[in-house]
Structure 1
Amino acid sequence: MAMCPACNGLISSMRACDGCGQSLKIYGRIYDYQDDYSAYEEYDLTNETKSPTQENGCPHYVGCEACKSSYIYIFMES
């Protein structure tokens, strides 16, 4: 079974922001923001909705608290 480093708390920040150079913060999986209850659903249920381009990765919202920029970053699962 693949394991996402962001979902499992192995990393809490990542590369620098393209806009200001500050460290980006990981806000959570994009699936957790789809509806009111998706954050409480089992990981395997929300993982089934992945597109073929996200087959080996786990997409997360990441953002910069300094300049308020946000991005979607796909973490490779190992």
Structure 2
Amino acid sequence: MELCPLCNGLETRIIQCPNCQRIMEDRGKITDYLDDYSAYMDIDIMKLFDGNANSLEEHKCIHYFYCPTCQHEETNAINE
């Protein structure tokens, strides 16, 4: 069984904003933002809706990163 090192607090990622060079905040899995209950759904099922067609097979967790300074948003695929 694979697990995301960011979701489980085993690692942190430092992502620098491409616009203002500030450190972006990891806001968690992108699927947690789909609706009010998506954070409580089965992770493997939610990977079917994360915008990456192969995230389930490739064991990727798609994380949402946000820059509070300039409001830049991006996603990054994290290896599980």
Greater strand content: 1
1:61, distance to aligned residue in structure 2 (A):
0.7
TM-score normalised according to structure 2 size: 0.77
* % identity of equivalent residues: 36
Gaps spanning 5+ residues in structure 2: where?
Answer: none
Q: Are 1:33 and 2:33 counterparts?
A: yes
Per-residue deviation at 1:19?
Answer: 0.6
Aligned twin of 1:60:
63
Question: Secondary structure at 1:15's aligned position in 2?
Answer: coil
Q: Give 2:73's aligned residue.
A: 70
Mark the CA change 1:65 to 1:12 in structure 2 (over 3 Å): closer, same or farther: farther
Segments of 4+ in structure 1 off by > 4 A? none
Unaligned runs of 5+ in 1: none
Aligned to 1:43: 43
Q: Tell me the number of residue pairs that the alignment of Structure 1 and Structure 2 aligns.
A: 75
The whole-number CA distance in structure 2 between the counterparts of 1:43 and 1:13 is 21
CA RMSD in angstroms comes to 1.8
